[in-house]
């Protein structure tokens, strides 16, 4: 019985630490601003066949510095219509 209490306490502490770290670390948010004036965000870019791939976009001001695929993608149905506003040409604006 004592081992179950100790194991339960350890699990609760680990979960609490994970939540605290994720809330205090800006890397877990959708957009980051760092000391060099760079910012980063992710966006799904879809082609005409409704195949959407997620990218990380790194910006310095309105200039795109780097575009990297995150490895996440989805194939939407052929009648799917993207509900987002039209994609901007410059992803950093």
CB-based contact 87:44 (threshold 8 Å) = no
pLDDT digits (tens, 9 = 90+) for 18-72: 767 666 655 555 555 555 678 888 888 889 899 999 999 888 888 888 899 999 9
Q: Determine the distance from the C-alpha atom of residue 29 to the mean position of all C-alpha atoms in its chain, rounded to a whole number.
A: 7
Task: Go through 62-72 and write b for each residue having 16 or more CB atoms within 10 A of its CB, e for each that does not.
Answer: eeeeeeeeeee
Cα 19 to Cα 16: distance, rounded to the nearest angstrom? 5
Q: What is the pLDDT of residue 21?
A: 66
């Amino acid at each position: 019985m004592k081992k179950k209490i100790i194991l339960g306490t350890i699990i609760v502490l680990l979960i609490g630490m994970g939540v605290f770290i994720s809330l205090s670390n800006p890397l877990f948010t959708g957009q980051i601003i760092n000391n060099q004036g760079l910012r980063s965000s992710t966006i799904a870019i879809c082609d005409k066949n409704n195949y959407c791939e997620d990218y990380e976009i790194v910006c310095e001001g309105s200039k795109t510095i780097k575009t990297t695929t995150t490895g996440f993608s989805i194939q939407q149905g052929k009648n799917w219509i993207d509900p987002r506003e039209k994609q901007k040409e410059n992803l950093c604006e």
